[in-house]
Structure 1
Amino acid sequence: GEKLRGGCRELLRQIVGDEKMAELKQMKESGLGQEELIAKVDEMLGHITDQAKKQKIHEYGPSCRKIYEDRYKRDNHE
C-alpha cells in the first residue's frame, strides 16, 4: 500500500508541481480533513490544461483516490 501511495504522491507532484504539493502538505499538517484535501486536489487537477497530464489524471486518478480514501477510513476507524 505504501509503495502505491508513494507512486500516487509522485504522480501528483509531477502533475501539479512542487509548489502545489508544498501547499497541500501544509494544509494537511494544519489539520485539514481528508475530504477538504481531496477537494483541493480536485480543484488543482481541474486547472490542468496539459493533455499528457490530463491523460495521467484520467488513468491513475481513480485508483489513487481509492488508495487514499481506504487509508483514511482505516486510520480513523480502528
Structure 2
Amino acid sequence: MSGSAHGHTTAAWTGVGISFIGFMVSGVAMVVPSPVLVIVGLVVAAVGPLVGKAMSVAGYGKKPSTHTTIPVVQKTPVSSGVSS
C-alpha cells in the first residue's frame, strides 16, 4: 500500500486523528462512568470519516493519477530441463 500512497494525505490524517480522539474520549469515559461522555466520544469518532471525506472532496485528498498504465507482459515458464 505504501507504493500507492494510501492514506498519506492531509484528509486521511485529519479524519483518522478526529476518530482517534473520539475513541480516546469514549475509552476514558468508560473508566470514569459517564454515559454522556461515552456518547459524545462516539459521535466525535463518527464525525472523523465525514470530515476526512469532505476534506478529500475539497482537494486535500489523493490527487487523481495522471500517468498512463504500462501494459503487462506475459512471462513464459522456464523448464528445469528434467524430464519426467
Q: When the two structures are superposed, what TM-score results if normalisation uses the length of structure 2?
A: 0.34
More helix by share: 1
Q: When the two structures are superposed, what TM-score results if normalisation uses the length of structure 1?
A: 0.35
Relative contact order, CA 8 A, sep 6+: which one is greater? 1
Rg larger for = 2
